[in-house]
């Protein structure tokens, strides 16, 4: 446990696909904020030797190729199948939570950082907002979001619709957020917003840190 006076402020970062969350996450890193990237953790868990590989192999054997999880193959089993998706989440979410706790232990005395960022794509959908001191939602106009996503290799409108169906609507995320960062403006304006947000947070004490070690 960390003494109250030494707790860093845990800031959750989320946003729907194509909203620019990764760009904003990098901006926080450039400001010197340590970032826990849940997507990177999942990528590592799915790679050869990753802890998720044998567990996923038990439930979805055809999704494992050469000792690693093939995301495209895996998606064929879970997209549109709520039962299969729940099985996958029951495998992955506990592993990500374990990695998050291990990461947080590095900063149990603050480590010179008053703010830590938890970049979690499904923050609201997994009720992780209860585990942070504040939530930042990254948003952009719907037409810009769609254009960004459809420009990705292999992406189709049908696949985008399927992804969005599993995510909380952007409007609801923005309503539930403590802060909203708009990426529908220039990069410079977005950077200024990130800097201003951090300026207001530095020195604020968090209360959520110890919750990660009591569940």
Whether the predicted pLDDT of 2 surpasses 80 = no
**Number of domains the chain is built from:** 2
Q: Token digits for 99?
A: 């990695």
Same domain assignment for residues 203 and 118: yes
Question: pTM (2 decimals)?
Answer: 0.88
User: Is 2 inside any structural domain?
Assistant: no
The domain of 90 spans 39-105
Mean pLDDT of the 96-114 span: 85
Q: Residue 203 burial (CB < 10 Å; 0-12/13-18/19+)?
A: exposed
User: Is 30 inside any structural domain?
Assistant: yes
Mean pLDDT of the 69-77 span: 92
User: Is 126 inside any structural domain?
Assistant: yes
CA geometry: angle 215, 96, 40, nearest 5 deg: 150
Mean pLDDT of the 115-128 span: 92
Residue 202: predicted pLDDT: 79
pLDDT in tens, 192-210: 999 999 999 977 888 898 8
């Amino acid at each position: 446990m960390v003494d109250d006076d030494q707790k860093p402020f845990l800031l959750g970062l989320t946003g729907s696909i194509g909203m620019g969350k990764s760009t904003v996450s990098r901006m926080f890193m450039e400001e010197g904020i340590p970032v826990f990237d849940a997507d990177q953790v999942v990528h590592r868990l799915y790679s050869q030797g990753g802890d998720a590989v044998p567990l996923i192999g038990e439930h979805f054997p055809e999704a494992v190729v050469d000792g690693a999880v093939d995301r495209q193959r895996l998606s064929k089993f879970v997209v549109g199948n709520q039962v299969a998706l729940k099985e996958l989440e029951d495998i992955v979410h506990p592993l990500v939570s374990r990695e998050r706790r291990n990461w947080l232990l590095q900063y149990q005395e603050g480590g010179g950082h008053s703010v830590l960022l938890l970049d979690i794509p499904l923050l609201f959908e997994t009720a992780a907002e209860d585990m942070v001191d504040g939530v930042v939602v990254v948003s952009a106009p719907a037409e810009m979001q769609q254009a960004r996503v459809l420009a990705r290799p292999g992406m189709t409108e049908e696949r985008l619709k399927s992804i969005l169906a599993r995510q909380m609507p952007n409007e609801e995320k923005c309503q539930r957020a403590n802060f909203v960062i708009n990426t529908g403006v220039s990069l410079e304006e977005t950077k200024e917003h990130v800097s201003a947000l951090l300026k207001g947070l530095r020195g604020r004490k968090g209360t959520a840190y110890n919750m990660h070690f009591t569940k």
